[in-house]
Amino acid sequence: MIIAENVHVHFRRGLLRRKLQALNGLSLEVYDGDFFALVGQNGAGKSTAMYCLLGLLQPTSGKVEVMGKTPELGSQLYQSVAYLPEEPHYHLYLTVEEATRYYSALYRRRVSDKAINDVLERLGLAQFKTLPLSKCSKGMKQKVGIAQCLIHETRLLFLDEPTRGLDPLVVREFREALREIHQRGATIVMNSHVLSEIEMLANRVAIIDRGKVVVQDELQNLLTLDRELYGVTFEPNGSMPDYIGSIERVGTVVKASIPKERLYDFMDYTKNSGLSVHECSLKKTSLEDSFFKIVKDGRAQA
């Protein structure tokens, strides 16, 4: 669906035209039907990568192909592509209904009033139809963006930090809408800082660091990247064995982790010392853990 090969982007900034390397040989591949997440720190190059994939930014060098074509502004390629930018990049002078109608009309397909009204009703925007986007909350604006994906059969959807600044209720609604669009067969490329959300939605992840993809894999592989640990919560009464790690004290209670092979040693220790154990469960590596480990390892190698 999307191929980016060795993409370099650099900007010239300031009076001295200092070179700023935004992408440094970025390569990635998104398959048809993926829910693909671009993860990285601020300034890692996620948004720049997305702009290149969308054709909004011309790479300095390298190749980008979306559905077999090089993305060019406003080309026919976008017939089945939708993009939800960060908050301010909508036509703020239009009302909710006007914006929905306008964005739909740009797809060169006739959309009935009923279809527009139905989708606004479904997204809970019907009562705000006449409200200008400049006066809408971020959640409402994002719903206007989502409306176009529901009106047209979008094959490829790009989301740039879609849930930043949204309240938890709207995030949940938004997540459900994304799941529905994905289930309809759309490929989704999302760029987000919220790793827990990516864990819930994405099936493939690319971790970007300093303008380069350091890891690109199935989410499941990244979640089980490290050896498995047990997470334990107990009340110690003195010194603790060496194999207990990641110790975090909350009052008299200790939250810690132990390697899987030391589980029976830990059970003996708590039994012999007469300690009360509140919780003991298999602890899987989170995307956050993997992310930090990969970025740290990558930098150490560099």
Catalog residues that contact another protein under the rule CB under 8 A: 11, 51, 54-58, 73-79, 81-83, 85, 88-94, 98, 101-103, 105-108, 110, 132, 158
Query: Residue 176 is encoded by which pair of tokens?
Result: 């459900």
C-beta of 196: minimal distance to another protein in Å?
28
- Distance CA(163)–CA(172), nearest Å, equals 10
Considering the complex, state which of residue 129 and residue 293 has its C-beta at the smaller distance from another protein: 129
> CB of 145: closest distance to another protein in angstroms?
8
Q: How far is the CB of 48 from another protein (least distance, A)?
A: 9
* In the complex, least distance from residue 256 CB atom to another protein, rounded to whole angstroms: 48
| Closer CB to another protein, 103 or 234, in the complex | 103
- Under DSSP, the state recorded for 98 is H
Distance (Å, whole) CA 148 – CA 150: 5
Closest distance to another protein from the beta carbon of 176 (Å): 23
CA–CA distance from 298 to each of 40, 132, 168, 280 (Å)?
A: 13, 46, 33, 32
Q: How far apart are CA 192 and CA 197, in angstroms?
A: 8
142 vs 290, beta carbon nearer another protein: 142
Closest to another protein by CB, 51 vs 174, is 51
Q: How far apart are the first and last CA of the chain?
A: 31
State the CB neighbour count (10 A cutoff) for residue 41.
Answer: 14
For residues 36 and 234, which CB has a smaller minimum distance to another protein in the complex? 36
